[in-house]
Amino acid sequence: HPGLSATVFDLPQTLRVTKDHVDRAGLGDRIHLQAGNFHVDAFQGSYDLALMSDILHYQDGSTNAALVKKVFACLTEGGRLIIKDRFLDPAKTSPAWTTAFAVHILVNTECGECFTIQDSRQWMEQAGFRIVEELEPRAMIQGTK
Tell me the per-residue pLDDT of 69-105, one tens digit each, with 9 for 90 and over. 999 999 999 999 999 999 999 999 999 999 999 999 9
| Domain identity same for 5 and 58 | no
| Domain identity same for 73 and 108 | yes
| Domain identity same for 119 and 65 | yes
| Domain identity same for 69 and 137 | yes
Average per-residue pLDDT in the chain? 96
Taking residues 54-80, what's their average pLDDT?
97
| Domain identity same for 81 and 124 | yes
| Domain identity same for 67 and 110 | yes
| Domain identity same for 55 and 21 | no
Residues 62, 22: Cα–Cα separation, whole Å: 33
CATH code of the domain covering residue 96: 3.40.50.150
Range of the domain at 96: 48-144
Residues 7, 43: Cα–Cα separation, whole Å: 10
pTM listed for this prediction? 0.92
Q: What percent of the chain has pLDDT over 90?
A: 95
Number of structural domains (the chain) is: 2
Q: Are 6 and 31 in contact, with CB atoms under 8 Å apart?
A: yes
DSSP one-letter code for 88: B
| Domain identity same for 20 and 71 | no
